[in-house]
Structure 1
Amino acid sequence: MIKTVIIEDEKPASRKLERMLNEFPEIEIVAKIESVEEGVQWFSENEHPQLIFSDIVLGDGLSFDIFEKVPTKGFIIYTTAFDQYTLKAFKLNSIDYLLKPILDEDLAGAIEKFKSFIPSDNSVNSQEIKELIKKEKSTLSRILVKIGYNLKIVQTHEVSCFFSENKIVYLQTQERTYPSDFTLDELEEVLDEKKFFRVNRQFIISSDFIKNIHTSPNYKVELEFQPQEEITVSRDRVKDFKDWLVS
């Protein structure tokens, strides 16, 4: 059995996640925690579980605070509706990041990813597993954007490019342009590097939406949906850009 803890301060969300996890016979929920204070106390007094599903924004702080005060050997799958915490979640002892509302297939995929790190003969030690996790870094698949007083989930496979303008980073889809809470540097760390490439200081583009590439006099990319007529590849990035195109 995989001993598992849920950290979630909203009771309906906690109950829903518990119901979803109960569909997996290998999962045994040993505790449900609702606050940073309760989490620090529980992890200080109990044997740590193998797997932790943790919301990030709790009533008395961020769940990151729990594991900064009481480091855990368990592996964390973060769940949240606030994508601006993605980067920090990836840098901590996490194996995946699920953006709410959690989909059944995403949950199943996260559990399978965890199980892939644990061999049946238990021959891999904790440090070796952590090295495997670094190699299997999760990538951002969905982004939460604000439209007035509403929120919308945008799948990254719908995004033709991310670009910076007047110190704000936007994402471009066929539908429209949306502002985001990320910087381009942060996006470089969490986007799928096989799909996205930083062509210059202002743009990260998606290979799925490249319509044309002009090579003279400079490398310029034309996308199916883009906010301006030309996107120039920086000279110092041209070689990496060509390698990326065929990788």
Structure 2
Amino acid sequence: MNVIIIEDEKPAARRLSRLLSEQDIEVATMLHSVEESITWFRENNHPDLIFLDIQLSDGLSFEIFDAVEVKSAIIFTTAYDEYALQAFKLNSIDYLLKPIDDEELETAVKKYRNFKPENQRISIDFNDIKNLLVNPLEREFKKRFTVKVGQHLKIINADEVECFYSENKGTYAATSDGRNYLLDTTLEQLEEELSPQKFFRVSRKFFVNIDHINDIISYTNSRLQIKLKRYTEQEIIVSRERVNNFKLWLE
């Protein structure tokens, strides 16, 4: 199998290459920008499979296909939430949300091997995806939640929530008045419902609201610690594999 990686974050590209090598897949090359990729595709035989990041340092990776007809299957690697990916009308194989999980990667590769068409051609409506990524506010995200307090239902505005977190198999909203409310949902469901402009999943346990971040502190093992304005019950640590995307989100 002839594989290449297009990813602007070199540590992420190296990690993906290492994960693939554990599946006995050798990466032919790693490309890091739109311009570099266009040049490479014009001068080399196209691979069987591309691991493709959506956002590169010099633009969206879809611009590659505006310049060159690429005849390869694609597995997208992206930090965008699943909502954006619903727009894919494609002949690609799969997508992987960052940080990439080794088991999910193995499943995606198996899917490619089982699918592998004789004549691979990209049939992706890139305009749909680009419109979503450039104009993400067009989507309506959840603005309020209802929680049960005794015999009453209380309405909580999403803007009031400093963080969402999981604990003892429950999902909670910690609000700016210092209270914690049990929600009838999961963090995975919230990932599809929360505005990515406001909320970021910093770890498997926490979503934080950018408007309620009071301080960000360097932490051990290249991680970051987040201090919120009111919530202090647990340490909120940005996991190491999410730090780069968290910094991009802050900007």
- The TM-score, its normalising length taken from structure 2, stands at 0.49
Q: TM-score, normalised by structure 1?
A: 0.50
